Structure formats: structure tokens, C-alpha cells
Amino acid sequence: MASDLRLLARLVLMADSVEAKLAAVDALAAAAESGFGIDVSAQGEDVARPGRPERPALVPPKSLPKRSLLQVEGRAALLHAIAHIEFNAIDLACDAVQRFPDMPAGFYTDWISVATDEARHFRLLQNRLAGMGYAYGDFTAHDGLWEMALRTRDDCLARMALVPRVLEARGLDVTPGMIAKFDQTGDGDSVAVLEIILREEVGHVAIGTQWFNFCCQARGCDPEITFLDLLQGVGRGALRGPYNAEARRLAGFTPDEMRGITALANNAV
């Protein structure tokens, strides 16, 4: 039986059903709480694709249908999309734990805590969907988050920059607007769930900032310049505003970084 936290994180990553993945996250969190060891020197596994349930069917982002939030189905579809992001975020956090060697112990425990939060967020959304008569897997979804994981599979610095500080930071920008739209429909139960997720995702992006800065310091490179250089290959959709300036500030973005992000978004084609 695996007793190293990085091995347990790999078990989460490879679990191929919703129930198995959530149970594996629970086991990982319990092991971390119990003081299980971390073999920081072990080479991580190269996982081309994590374990996934048969549903939802994955399609290109442009193939996802647009639905009105005035209808229950439309609101459920949007919550399903967020649940899919949270489910993928479990894998992304656990992949960081199991993949990258020779980081301080706090790196691994930080990302285990993120995986635990993402699993709790998923459960909140799963329960809300059930209350609306739907389940995870009832709508199609896309695979954009894991595609970025593959792009950054060989570089912890790039992973910290482009997953938490780009893709997850995008959630900080768009969630307030979603909350407002759900509130306008009188869906207070969904608003309550989204407010929890928004509040806690600020901390997740801040963890990404902390370890991105650590990697930059270890390599002797300037974090702001390095971050903006890495953004050159990121599509405009992940960079465009409007931005949640206060949430990004709390998550560690500097004024120069925000000016650079805005300029790149405006110049991207």
C-alpha cells in the first residue's frame, strides 16, 4: 500500500471514476494530516492523460452549446462546466504533487490542500446539480485545462505560471459576473456555492504565485519579466478582461504584471 504522499497523489490522478477519485483525494488528505512522508527526490511520473469517468463526453470548446440562464437547464449547464473545471483541478493539483521532484515539503502539502479544496468544491456543485435534477456527466465538456498541463509537464516554473496564474486566475475574473447573473434569476443556492469557490480560489492562485516566485528565485530570474515572457504563447481568451483587480492583487499579481497582461490581451490576435 502506498505510504508516500506523492504516490498517493498519483493514485488520485489515475482514478477513473468520480467516486474513486474523490475517495482517493480523501485518502491523500487524511495521509497528509497524519504526517505521511514525502520522497521529494523521486522522479515523478509522466502522465499523458489522467483517469477519467466515461461521462461527460469531451468536445472542442467551440462545440459547447450556448444556453440561456433564464432556464434551469442553462443554469445547470453552467454549473456543470464549473464542476468540470473543479474536477480537472483535482488532477492538476495532484499532478503537481506527484510530478515535480526536489521542491520543499511545503510545495507538496500546499497542492494537496488545493486538491482537497477542489474536491470539496466539486461536491458542492455536484449536490447543487442534483437539486436541479441533473448530474455530472449530463452535459458535454472540454479538456483545455489538461492540455495546459501537458504543455508544462517538464517545467515546474512554467506550470506554476500558466495553470494557477493564467487558467485558474481567469476564474477570479469571470465568477463575479456569473454570481450576478445567478442572483438575477433568484438562484440563491447557486450563488452561495459560487461565492465559496471564488473566495477560496484566490488562495489557490496565491499558492501558484508563491511557488512561481520560488522557482524564479531558485533560477535567478526576474518573476515579472519571466511571467510576461511565458504569456506570449497564451491565447487571448485566457488573458482578456475585465479583470478582478482586487482578487488578483490578493493572489499576488503586481501592477506591472497586470499592465503586461492587459497589453498582451489587447495585442493578441
Query: pLDDT of 204-215, one tens digit each?
Result: 999 999 999 999
H, E, C per residue of 74-113: HHHHHHHHHHHHHHHHHHHHHHHHHHCCCCCHHHHHHHHH
Q: Has residue 119 got a pLDDT over 70?
A: yes
Q: What average pLDDT does the segment 144-156 reach?
A: 90
Yes or no: say if 90 and 115 are a contact pair by the CB < 8 Å rule.
yes
CB count, 10 Å around CB of 165? 25
Q: Has residue 84 got a pLDDT over 80?
A: yes
| Lowest-confidence segment of 2-16, 21-35, 104-118 by average pLDDT | 2-16
pLDDT given for residue 9 in this prediction: 95
Instruction: Report in angstroms the alpha-carbon separations of 192 from 72, 132, 138, 172.
Output: 17, 15, 22, 16
pLDDT given for residue 210 in this prediction: 98
- Mean pLDDT, the chain, as a whole number? 93
Q: What pTM was estimated for this model as a whole?
A: 0.94
Question: Is residue 37 packed enough to be buried (19+ CB in 10 Å), middle (13-18) or exposed (0-12)?
Answer: exposed
pLDDT given for residue 268 in this prediction: 60
Confidence band for 266, pLDDT divided at 50, 70 and 90 = confident
Q: Has residue 269 got a pLDDT over 50?
A: no
- Which of 2, 12, 1, 5 has its CA nearest to residue 34? 5
Q: Has residue 3 got a pLDDT over 80?
A: no
pLDDT above 90 as % of the chain: 79
Chain mean position to CA 158: 15
Fill in the amino acid letter for 166.
V
pLDDT given for residue 69 in this prediction: 87
Q: Has residue 1 got a pLDDT over 50?
A: no
The string of pLDDT tens digits covering residues 25-74 is 999 999 999 988 888 887 788 888 999 999 998 888 777 888 888 899 99
Question: Is residue 133 packed enough to be buried (19+ CB in 10 Å), middle (13-18) or exposed (0-12)?
Answer: exposed
Q: Buried b / exposed e across 186-196, counting CB within 10 Å, b at 16+?
A: ebeebbebbee
| Lowest-confidence segment of 95-109, 129-143, 150-164, 225-239 by average pLDDT | 225-239
* Domains recognised in the chain with CATH numbers: 72-267 (1.20.1260)
